[in-house]
Structure 1
Amino acid sequence: MSISNLIVHEIQKNEGERKAVLIARPSENPIDDQAEVLSAQVTSLFNRSGMSTGRFANPQGSDEGAQLPSLLMTYFKENAFTDFSGFTKVCAADFLKYLEPVEEAGGGLLWFNHFELHGTHFLYIVMLKRKQGIGLGSDLSLSQVEQIEMEKLHMSLRINLSAWQSGDEGRYISFRLGRAPKFESDYFTQFIGCDEPKVTAKETRKLVDLTSAFCQAEGFPAKQANEFKKLVSEQCQAKAQDNEPLAMKDIAAQVESRFSVEQANKFLEIADSDSFKMEKEMFVEKAALKKLTRISGSTRALTLSFDSDLLGESVVFDADSGTLTIKDLPKTLLKQLQSMSN
């Protein structure tokens, strides 16, 4: 990741009050070792689970509604900001308009970071908070110091500027709201001007169900279905690792190469049906992929989970009686059971 521009502004606002004050930094922060470290920490936190995605409701900008797309149209030209400091100051002032009416909300630090990764330009806008910590002086004395809280992100967004500028119809905005209460998530999404935000985990679960529905519609035997699900899972994992969106046509291409053109078209038909209405591109969340390759269930007294490719092999299901027969038990479990039977 190559950082092009970086600046931090402060918004001072007490919870329970409406008045907010913008303390704008006059010029960009230097891109030094501290900036690189903080940027890496922000990226690591951002890429954790719980992301949502979307696009601008009005990507060309307008006089009404969210001003962020209009500001980008004005300041971002040919993969560079004409005046990054000026852009962020106007953007932060616009953020205040959405923040001030919400009495319950507090202020914080607005972090703006324009960077390039693999030839693609991105913009982070992140709300960071301060916290009290303990410092150790040169004489080994203890004192209270103010730090940036980096255990979690409160509100944050990342815009794929290259995709937005090219007129891409995909979901080029990713954002995290952490555990922010609804009043905060509402004003933040209004500030972004995001159209129909999608929760990544929910969309990934839809993809899991779509894959199962396709296998069932084609009448795949268990082994063939498990192999295909594993292939989809691996493709999703690779995209998630690179923080790139997964395209439905990429999965359809896998269907075509392994089966036929007709079946690839069938997959896309099911994906576009009223039951799923999948986006052409989507970001995936690793944790939500488990059901592609694992079968699990639990009650208050029992938890059972195993790889789906074991079904029909060391795990046998009898549909008539609704029972599972498990062979090749783990050695530790087998020893426990044998000792209890003696």
Structure 2
Amino acid sequence: MPIRHAIFHQLDKQPDGNPAILHARDSELPATDAVEALQADLNDSYNAKQGKVWGFFHGESGAYPFSGWLKQYLDEKQDFTGFTRVSVEHLQKLIEEINLSTGGHVLFSHYQQGLTEYLMIAVLQQVQTVGLDDDLNVVVSRYLDTNNFSCAARINLSEWRNNPNSKQYISIVKGKTGRKSSDYFRDFIGCQEGVDGPGETRTLLKAFTEYVEKEDLPEESAREKTHALLDYATTQTKLGQPLHLQELSEVLDEDRPQAFYDHIRNRDYGLSPEIPADKRVLNQFRRFTGRAEGLSISFEAHLLGSNVTYDAGTGSLTIKNLPTQLKDQLKRRVTESGELQ
């Protein structure tokens, strides 16, 4: 993961009502293994965060100047240090306007992963810990907490520059400290929501369920495809990458690599070719399966509470919206037995 440029600035904001103090670094961080390790740890934590906002830049304006400064930097009209300095000064201004009580160490990192370039901005906290030195003396040390952060964004620079119609080249972590914290950082980036990650993920899973029903797949085959979908989606989210529908279709059926993709297009689900999968929604998509004395039941976990209701008291399931083929078989059987005329 080559890091092209990286720098830290510090915003010292105490909860005493005094203005935030900016401690700006005047040069980039040197390229070291420690910086590489920091970025790798931060990427892993960022990818694991749930409930991100995916979007694109507002038009450049006085309210949203960040994209203009970023463009100047990429066009080599401003160096990296100067770009980050004017940006962090704007961040300082926004913190003062909303009277946010927490500052932190602001990392700007321009790095490359594969053929794709990214800019990550994260506000990290420095934490004290107690340990032992080589002589078994108790010492206090400090480290940057790359696991717990509420303000961070990643911009896919390659996507932004090469695909002007994209609406999902920015992702931002949703803060857990309240909407105020999340909104100020989103305003700093100048990001507007472009893709509903949880909604798109739910639509994709709905399309998959209907595809399995339409194909009338055997239970074992349906289970294998479900596992394949979840394995692919989990791998992509760990890498911080969206799901590619064409690629997913090939994963689901090597013999008919277009089958699932064609199903999505023919039914017009309105899905984007690339979906920023939502980890929480994926975790809910599992299959409940049971077999005993000639009875075999299997359904996706997300149907529990909607199409499938469980009564723990009586140990019974109530199923709505039965598959058409099953309803036809039941009707024929009832008709043949003379119970339905």
TM-score normalised by structure 2 residue count? 0.74
Written as runs of structure 1 = structure 2, the 5 A alignment for 1:111-130 is 111-130=107-126
Secondary structure at the residue paired with 2:97?
Answer: coil
Q: Distance in 2 between matches of 1:167 and 1:323?
A: 49
The answer for the alignment partner of 1:41 in structure 2 is 41
The answer for the alignment partner of 2:275 in structure 1 is 282
Aligned length: 301
Written as runs of structure 1 = structure 2, the 5 A alignment for 1:73-88 is 73-77=71-75, 82-88=78-84
Structure 2 stretches of 5 or more lacking a match?
Answer: 299-307, 309-314, 319-341
Q: Which amino acid aligns with 2:277?
A: V
Q: Which amino acid aligns with 1:282?
A: I
Written as runs of structure 1 = structure 2, the 5 A alignment for 1:251-330 is 251=248, 264-270=261-267, 272-273=268-269, 277-285=270-278, 288-290=281-283, 292=285, 294-296=286-288, 306=289, 316-317=296-297, 322=316
Q: CA RMSD in A?
A: 3.4
The answer for the alignment partner of 1:176 in structure 2 is 173
TM-score normalised by structure 1 residue count? 0.74
The answer for the alignment partner of 1:208 in structure 2 is 205
Which of 91, 103, 107 matches 1:107? 103
Show CA shifts across 1:296-321 (max 9, x none). Answer: 4xxxxxxxxx5xxx6699971399x9
Contact 1:109–1:128 under 8 Å retained in 2: yes
Q: Distance in 2 between matches of 1:136 and 1:260?
A: 57
Which of 189, 192, 197 matches 2:189? 192
> Residue 134 in 1 paired to residue 94 in 2?
no
Q: Distance in 1 between matches of 2:291 and 2:243?
A: 28
Show CA shifts across 1:48-93 (max 9, x none). Answer: 13151423233xx42233222111111113xx78511011101111
Q: Distance in 2 between matches of 1:322 and 1:16?
A: 59
Q: Distance in 1 between matches of 2:28 and 2:95?
A: 24
Deviation at 1:110, TM superposition (A): 0.3
The range that moved more, 229-238 or 157-166, is: 229-238
Q: Which amino acid aligns with 1:63?
A: S
Secondary structure at the residue paired with 2:14?
Answer: coil
Q: Distance in 1 between matches of 2:257 and 2:8?
A: 53
Contact 1:125–1:157 under 8 Å retained in 2: yes
Cα gap change, 1:179 to 1:313, in 2 (>3 Å): farther
The answer for the alignment partner of 2:14 in structure 1 is 14
Written as runs of structure 1 = structure 2, the 5 A alignment for 1:322-341 is 322=316
Q: Structure 1 vs Structure 2: percent identity of aligned residues?
A: 25
Q: Distance in 2 between matches of 1:190 and 1:229?
A: 39
